[in-house]
Structure 1
Amino acid sequence: MNGPQAHWLEDGRRLHLNHGPIDLIIEAFGDASECRAAYGQAVARFQTILSELVEELPELRRPASLRPRAFAGPTARRMEAAVNPLAEQFITPMAAVAGSVADEMLGALLAGRRLDRAYVNNGGDSAIHLGNGRSITLAIAGTGHGLADRITIHAEDGIRGVATSGWRGRSFSLGIADAVTVLARTGAEADAAATLIANAVDLPGHPAVERVPARALAPDSDLGDRRVTQGVGVLSSGEIAAALDSGLAVAEEFRGHGLIAASALFLAGQARIAGPMALTAPSEKSRKEIAHV
């Protein structure tokens, strides 16, 4: 494996950091000198973040419980804290790894700096900083079917994490959602909740759904022999609605307990919304200014 890599994207505005499975896009807004210093801090922090996680990986792949475990690394601690409130269901800290890395890197970016706005996008799971009165418009991934897919987050909303999960994504899913996007206080919390809500969008035993044991695809998967979705065939409108409603019930439960702010669930051209999330179609202005998550 190559070591940590850092370079600017073609637009000269966004920093790309890559090391093994971690692939980050970082953008900061504000005074030029503050942004330069912030980017330098992010690059410095990135040098060890993967090795820290690898050291504790065996325990991070073990199921969470309601009693938090003691982890040495700050990113691992973020992962554990995000999944503990959800541990009545099967979940491991790995369900929050992408969002936790985004949170940790955003913290490094902001340390001692004054930025107007910033985001760290880790393969679609993002941590966001918004100064007073600031806002950011995001394009969420995986909706398809021409559905509206833009959301605008304002500083006063208190939302600093956005994450998306679904069977078409880069991580395994037990459900059949095309995409579930969650808004929460942190990237880690959004990531963990999106995983479980997407798992709940499901039609157990349906013949149109192809499932394979996770271990058959990745021998070291934290999901073990649990069957993960590899294909979804044709479903009736009623079946799509039933699957989405199952996921919506979980999203509303999480929202009722203050674990998430809102969630949008998508499957085969239908959608469900939990909480205050207004989806809009892209405007010409937003196409130029959008941050993709």
Structure 2
Amino acid sequence: MDAPIVQRLTGDRLHLSHGPIDVVLRAWGAPEAVQAAAAAAVALFPTILPGLVAELPALRRPMAEAPQVAHPVARRMLAACAPFAPSFITPMAAVAGAVADALLAAMRAAAPLAQAYVNDGGDIAIHVAPGESLAIGLAADPRHLALDGALRVTAGSGIGGVATSGRHGRSFSLGIADAVTVLARDAATADAAATLIANEVDFDSPAVRRMPASDLDPDSDLGDRLVTVDVGTLSDGEIARALDAGLARAEAFRAAGHVLGAALRLGGVVRATGLALLPAP
């Protein structure tokens, strides 16, 4: 296993990379507090990937099989997925968010901060102190830099995590959503919920091409389940029906208290619950 990489970026950001984990973080506050928070994140980071690799067999098991883990980040993954266990979900659905949450928790434990974020490949743990706010840009397709919306997070919003899932993301999706962005009290929960909502944005159309996940990655936790590999031109009705299905799942999660809001995007159409998107900056 290669050693982790730590880099300073412009804009007072810190880049941490180790295997598949790729994090950008930033903190605001007194200079000594920011320095202490960064040092805490750097100290914790090298322990995360080895700990998760050791737990992989359990983390790839469905929650219905009650996997057992010991590593603190792995436990965060299980806790985030537990409320959704009646659906098929493995702890891997929350891995990026759980890593972000763990790093942010270490930063906040090290020093008082005005604001901070930990962005693990688009799944973001957020801290905003009273009287502060933080703007988060949204993109329907992370392969491109263009933003299609924004959120402004305040301390009173209760938002501690933002996560996005869909067919353009780093992980496989069972659905056809371009992107589903979820707001929750922590990033791991947002990550798990975004995965399930994106899976639900679906419609059986000849324009949708699917393959078994195991054909694309023999180690995938999805096994032989069909994942979306391409979506052609859909009719307005097909887009509407797919988004209706996903929105119903999002609203059920919101009613149950699992998420605070969600935005679903497909084919240039946006549906949202629990939030109003600002224009892209």
TM-score (norm 1): 0.92
| Residues in 2 aligned to 1:96 and 1:196: alpha-carbon distance in whole angstroms | 11
What secondary structure does 2:198 align onto? Answer: helix
Question: Aligned to 1:77, which of 75, 95, 104?
Answer: 75
- Contact 1:68/1:81 (8 A) holds in 2: no
1:148 Cα deviation from its structure 2 partner = 4.1
1:70 Cα deviation from its structure 2 partner = 3.6
- Contact 1:68/1:80 (8 A) holds in 2: no
1:28-107 map, 5 Å: 28-65=27-64, 69-107=67-105
| Residues in 1 aligned to 2:66 and 2:176: alpha-carbon distance in whole angstroms | 30
What secondary structure does 2:105 align onto? Answer: helix
2:154 matches 1:160: no
What secondary structure does 1:96 align onto? Answer: helix
| Residues in 2 aligned to 1:60 and 1:76: alpha-carbon distance in whole angstroms | 7
What secondary structure does 1:126 align onto? Answer: strand
Runs of 4+ in 1 over 3 A off after TM superposition: 67-70
1:1-293 map, 5 Å: 1-9=1-9, 11-65=10-64, 69-142=67-140, 148-204=148-204, 206-275=205-274, 277-283=275-281
| Residues in 2 aligned to 1:282 and 1:268: alpha-carbon distance in whole angstroms | 18
1:147 Cα deviation from its structure 2 partner = 7.9
| Residues in 1 aligned to 2:14 and 2:256: alpha-carbon distance in whole angstroms | 36
| Residues in 2 aligned to 1:234 and 1:64: alpha-carbon distance in whole angstroms | 35
- Contact 2:60/2:92 (8 A) holds in 1: yes
| Residues in 2 aligned to 1:69 and 1:208: alpha-carbon distance in whole angstroms | 37
What secondary structure does 1:111 align onto? Answer: helix
- Contact 2:123/2:162 (8 A) holds in 1: yes
- Contact 1:124/1:141 (8 A) holds in 2: no
Per-residue CA distance 1:159-198 (angstroms, 9 max, x = gap): 1000000001111000000000000000000000000000
1:278 Cα deviation from its structure 2 partner = 1.5
Which residue identity lines up with residue 82 of structure 2 in the other structure? N
- Contact 1:128/1:161 (8 A) holds in 2: yes
| Residues in 2 aligned to 1:239 and 1:4: alpha-carbon distance in whole angstroms | 45
Which residue identity lines up with residue 33 of structure 2 in the other structure? E
| Residues in 2 aligned to 1:186 and 1:94: alpha-carbon distance in whole angstroms | 16
What secondary structure does 1:40 align onto? Answer: helix
Structure 1: any 5+ residue segments left out of the alignment?
Answer: 284-293
- Contact 1:68/1:84 (8 A) holds in 2: no
- Contact 2:58/2:68 (8 A) holds in 1: no
| Residues in 2 aligned to 1:148 and 1:46: alpha-carbon distance in whole angstroms | 31
| Residues in 1 aligned to 2:197 and 2:39: alpha-carbon distance in whole angstroms | 36
| Residues in 2 aligned to 1:262 and 1:164: alpha-carbon distance in whole angstroms | 12
| Residues in 2 aligned to 1:69 and 1:128: alpha-carbon distance in whole angstroms | 28
1:71 Cα deviation from its structure 2 partner = 1.7
TM-score (norm 2): 0.96
1:111 Cα deviation from its structure 2 partner = 1.1
| Residues in 1 aligned to 2:244 and 2:270: alpha-carbon distance in whole angstroms | 10
1:112 Cα deviation from its structure 2 partner = 3.3
Per-residue CA distance 1:218-240 (angstroms, 9 max, x = gap): 10000000011010000000110
Give RMSD over aligned pairs: 1.4
Which residue identity lines up with residue 281 of structure 1 in the other structure? P
Instruction: Kindly tell me the number of residue pairs found equivalent between the two proteins.
Output: 278
- Contact 2:213/2:226 (8 A) holds in 1: yes
